[in-house]
Structure 1
Amino acid sequence: MKNQLFLAALAFILYSCSSDSSDNEDQVITINPVPSETYFPPLTSDDWETLAITDLDWNIAAEEPLYDFLEERGTDAFIILKDGRIVIEKYFGDFTQNDNHVWNSAGKTLTAMTVGIAQEEGFLNINNSSMDYLGNGWSSLTTEQEENITVWNHLTMTTGLEYDVDDVFCTDPECLLFRNESGEFWFYHNAPYTLLDKIITGATGTDFKNYSYAKIRDKIGMQGVWLSVGFNTIYFSNARSMARFGILNLNNGVWDGETILGDTAFLTDMKNTSQDMNEAYGYLYWLNGKGSYRVPGAEIELSGKLIPNAPNDLYAGLGKNDQKLYVIPSEKLVIVRLGDDAGETLLGPSSFDNELWGLLNTLID
């Protein structure tokens, strides 16, 4: 009798559940969890995992206005990665996935990481005089003045070299004059940065370009080349290669289990305020969320955040004509924008950053 009662009760429960599910089909939820671990695209393939905007519950209505804005502002390529996976990959005009584009000063971030690798491998020390790797007489300074300029000064735009010169890109000794004691003033001066190429070459005994390829590019599946343009050495690659470098940054110098840069102290210093004259500048990286900032070409300090609309923890490579590599650890996002000048011919940050992030907030929030 007990068994019969049990079976009857069980049949009633099953029947009730079946009825509820058919009467309330709109309440049935299929759960497809979005993967949260970092994804690393294959080294030798164009395959790349993707996520849909709807997978992330982003505002799909904001997608087309974003594309319209990007196209109006001369964008060639735009990518958003979430945890390394492509959410948006958009090309404009006749620009394609395989086309190469100049990084301009966004490539300074590649140089900074290359310096960190050279230090980790014991070839240089950023606290040493750059004279140790450039030799004597690399500038028009006195020997004592040259000795006081360290590799760290080149990384932080604090060499004290004269920036009010005819050609701010010139790295010939006659262009490199004394203005301030090293470490006393911040100014975005391209020539001292460019000398890092020679510092790395002198320290490692390997041409800077080849050393960078071997230590970063080839290990994470990037393509592209450093090209000499006048006094400058500028990186060119497709948009996905810039995105790969963004993933490497997001994952703190490790690519799919292989450590590319393991010096955590250098990595931390690289992506945080490096000196007390420009809070928004690390080792050649731009930093958001600080109380003040300075911009290329200006001597004054401005109050507020570099990009008010962007997350506070954003750090970035920013290049002339609005080449952008944004990394946002809190959101696990990497964003790439390559293209023409979006309205202001500036060497790094511009009003385009804040306008773009206004639209991105509408999309992502």
Structure 2
Amino acid sequence: MTVPVAPSPAPQPPLSAREQGIMQGFPPAPDKIPGPTNWDMPPYNRWSFQNMRGLFPTTDVRRGDGPVRDLPAAPQEDLGEITFKTMAGETSTIDDWLAHSYTDGFLVMSRGKVVSEQYFNDMEGHTPHLSQSVAKSLVGTLAGVLNGEGALDLHAPLLDLIPELGNSGYAGATVGQVLDMRTGTRFTEEYNMPGSDMTRIDIASGWRPPVPGEAVPTIREVIQTLQAERPHGEAFNYRSIETDVAAWALERAGGQSLAALMSDRIWQHIGAERDGFFTVDAAGTALADGGFNATMRDYARFGLMMLQGGAVEGRQVVPEAWVRACARGDTAAFGEPYTATSPHGAYSRQWWIHDAKRGDFMARGVFGQLIYLDPQTEFMAVKLSTWPDFLIHSYTVDMLSAVTTIRDALAESEASPKKFTDFLRRR
């Protein structure tokens, strides 16, 4: 007689920082306190990403005194029942995916209304969350404002703004090549790897402890040491340092710090509810490539501005032509390993393009940060996360599958509520 084999129980959702005892107690237990070598790794990142001001020096991106932009709600109660195929070939509901993918916050907007807003891991609406490389897209958007003002020429040599880079690999590069990450400068993007360029920037920014016996450089001192490995203008190659170089150029072009420029040109005009902030190095330089923090609803307000062509309630904040260019890119310059996530993708002006023909584009960051925008259906999804590692390919693929499935379901529901019900049944 064959004994039936019981199915394996589903993995339990990850525990919150509080449930794991991280920073609990007066004082917390020594092994429950994030340190300089482990603050962004599990389990500590479940606390750290919502408490960056308790770990690092910061500079404010002020919201100003203007009114808060209302985000009208039209809750879609059935959203969590939508199913999609994971990279592993399994069927998952949106609710199960959110519960198991180390979610801190998830917000969906359709046609200008919030249809879902959920918080996990004890995050709340007022809690600022680290954006990681979503910050790059904010910097790229700021470049568009300065370009529209005539202060930033994409075709100008970078050395016109930053002559200090004359002996570096950035000599001969243009501002536009930096924004599109198509310079020929060598930068090793290995995270938490001793001696890598990324680790050198982490040390310079204060995100990693210094090497014993070595002086701690600033972010811009590290930039000046980088050398070329190929001609400028060739294929896209993702390097976080390009955003820090772009930010340096923006400060020179705009005559203000990055935080002040971001406040004056963008944050004060999107109807943000709270100030944002950047972490800074010892020289007060903002970590442009990943150090920005804001609430989920304010990330949504920024995304909504981009989704609506750079305008906020009729006032143009970012030139519409710049926003359109962020959703168009050179697919021929976009190869492996990037096509593994977006087979028809591209990269333009610090934004990832998921499908160049469709024109959906996104801001993405390690550990699962996302602002996904689809102008075609006026859809946006924001996800804030604390994945257990910097990059998990299956998590990225599943995240994009989930949000695009939600997008398609909502598009069907607009035509008819019955179509939405049929969509759920088909899945």
- Normalising by structure 2, we get a TM-score of 0.63
Give the alignment of 1:181-220 within 5 angstroms: 181-220=231-270
Q: 1:32 maps to what in 2?
A: none
Cα contact 2:128–2:294 (8 A) shared by 1: yes
Q: For 2:245, give the aligned amino acid.
A: L
Task: Work out whether residues 79 and 86 of structure 1, in 8 Å CA contact, stay in contact via their aligned partners in 2.
Answer: yes
Q: Which residue of 2 aligns with 1:84?
A: 112
Q: Residue 82 of structure 2 corresponds to which residue in structure 1?
A: 62
Cα offset, 1:363, TM superposition: 5.0
SS of corresponding position for 2:197: coil
Alpha-carbon distance between aligned partners in 1 of 2:163 and 2:397, rounded to the nearest angstrom? 41
Residue from 362, 384, 387 that aligns with 1:341:
387
What 5-or-longer segments of structure 2 have no aligned partner? Answer: 1-64, 84-91, 189-194, 202-218, 335-344, 411-422
Q: Deviation of residue 254 (structure 1)? A: 0.8
Instruction: Summarize deviations over 1:239-258 as a string: whole Å, max 9, x none.
Output: 00010011101110110011
Offset at 1:46?
Answer: 7.8
The letter of the residue matching 2:134 is A
Q: Deviations over 1:131-158 (max 9, x none)?
A: 11112435534xxx61x20010111111
Contact 2:69 2:271 in 1 (8 A): no
Shift of 1:195: 1.0
Larger Rg: 1
Indicate how the Cα distance of structure 1 residues 67 and 117 shifts in structure 2: closer, same or farther if over 3 A, else same.
same
Match of 2:129 in 1: 101
- What is the aligned partner in structure 2 of residue 154 from structure 1? 178
| 1:20-49 CA distance string (max 9 Å, x none) | xxxxxxxxxxxxxxxxxxxxxx96348532
Distance 2:394 2:162 in 1: 27
Matched residues in 2 for 1:317 and 1:349: separation? 16
Question: C-alpha offsets along residues 227-276 of structure 1, whole Å, 9 cap, x if unaligned?
Answer: 226883321000000100111011101100111022x4333222210474
Distance 2:397 2:134 in 1: 16
What letter corresponds to residue 282 of structure 1 in structure 2?
A: S
Q: One-letter code of the match for 1:245?
A: F
Q: Secondary structure at the match of 1:330?
A: coil
Partner of 1:166: 196
- 2:61 counterpart of 1:53: no
Residue matched to 2:350: 284
Partner of 2:304: 247
**In structure 1, what is the Cα distance between the partners aligned to 2:164 and 2:382?**
40
Contact persistence 1:322–1:348 (CA under 8 A): no
Distance change >3 Å, CA 313–CA 269, structure 1 → 2? closer
- Fraction of identical pairs, as percent: 19
In structure 1, stretches of 5+ residues that fail to align are 1-41, 292-311
User: What is the Cα deviation at residue 65 of structure 1?
Assistant: 3.4
Letter paired with 2:329: T
Cα distance between partner residues in 2 of 1:116 and 1:46: 22
Distance 1:138 1:209, change over 3 A: farther
Whether the 8 Å contact between 2:355 and 2:361 is mirrored in structure 1 is no
With over 3 angstroms needed to count, the CA separation of the structure-2 counterparts of 1:229 and 1:100, relative to structure 1, is farther
State the shift of 1:59 in Å: 5.9
1:232 matched to 2:287? The reply is: yes
Give, as a single letter, the amino acid of the residue that structure 2 aligns with 1:225: F
Aligned to 1:315: 361
Letter in 1 for 2:114: I
Kindly tell me: are residues 280 and 346 of structure 1, through their superposed partners in 2, closer, same or farther at Cα, counting changes over 3 Å?
Answer: farther
Q: If the length of structure 1 is used for normalisation, what is the TM-score?
A: 0.73
Distance 1:85 1:110, change over 3 A: same
Q: CA deviation at 1:225?
A: 1.5
More displaced, 350-359 or 79-88?
A: 350-359
Contact 1:60 1:363 in 2 (8 A): no
**1:129 partnered with 2:182:** no
| Alignment RMSD (CA, Å) | 2.9
Question: What is the CA–CA distance in structure 1 between the aligned matches of 2:295 and 2:79, rounded to whole Å?
Answer: 28
8 Å contact kept, 2:328–2:359: no
